Each structure stands twice: as structure tokens, then as C-alpha cells.
């Protein structure tokens, strides 16, 4: 059965004097501007590449040994928590939530 079509939630585009559609310019929220300022540098690109290599070095493919999978998951989360913990965005926080048995 095909999915039912719904109305879009996006604002309609305005037409310029030329008849072409244009998008209204909206200033991004301050946290987005702060993220862009921090991430648009060659140094950040190197950092991100090194972080990805570090995460990919951990074997996370499914394994019948649950303890091995838990250790791998914990290793990845520790890396992510280490990196996220070093970021200081006003009002931001992070937490590791446990997955309930009902979701497994």
C-alpha cells in the first residue's frame, strides 16, 4: 500500500522579481554559528580523520561472544565521551543511556 502524502512543514519559497524561487535568508541559531566556527578549519578535518581512524580500529562487528561486543561498545563510547566531554557549548550535555530489555 503506498504511503499517504502529507503536507510539508517547510515555509513556502518566495518568488524573486525574475520569477525564480528564492529562499528566505534566516540567520542560524548561535550554537550552529559556534559549531561552524570551530569546524571549518584544516586542523579540525585532521582531528576528525584521526578520530574516525581511532573508532574504526575497534572491532564492532556482531559476535556471538556478548562480553566481547560489550567491551567493544564500551571502548567506542569511552572515545566519544572523551571527545564530547572536551566540548563546551552553553546548555549542552551528554549522557550514556542504557538500552532496556524491551528494546533488544
* Cell matching residue 43: 586542523
Q: When comparing pLDDT for 54 and 18, which is higher?
A: 54
| Under 8 Å between Cβ of 47 and 79 | no
Q: Determine the pLDDT at residue 28.
A: 77
Say how far apart CA 46 and CA 57 lie, in whole Å. Answer: 17
* 77: in domain: yes
| Range in 25-29, 49-53, 71-75, 87-91 the model is least confident about | 87-91
* 3: in domain: no
Residue 75's domain comprises 27-86
Its pTM surpasses 0.75: no
3-state secondary structure of 76: helix
* 79: in domain: yes
Amino acid at each position: 500500500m503506498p504511503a499517504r502524502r502529507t503536507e510539508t512543514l517547510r515555509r513556502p519559497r518566495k518568488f524573486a522579481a525574475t520569477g525564480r524561487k528564492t529562499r528566505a535568508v534566516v540567520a542560524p541559531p548561535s550554537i550552529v554559528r559556534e559549531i561552524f566556527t570551530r569546524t571549518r578549519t584544516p586542523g579540525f578535518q585532521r582531528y576528525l580523520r584521526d578520530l574516525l581512524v581511532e573508532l574504526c580500529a575497534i572491532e564492532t562487528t556482531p559476535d556471538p561472544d556478548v562480553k566481547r561486543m560489550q567491551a567493544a561498545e564500551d571502548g567506542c563510547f569511552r572515545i566519544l565521551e572523551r571527545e564530547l566531554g572536551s566540548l563546551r557549548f552553553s546548555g549542552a550535555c551528554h549522557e550514556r543511556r542504557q538500552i532496556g530489555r524491551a528494546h533488544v
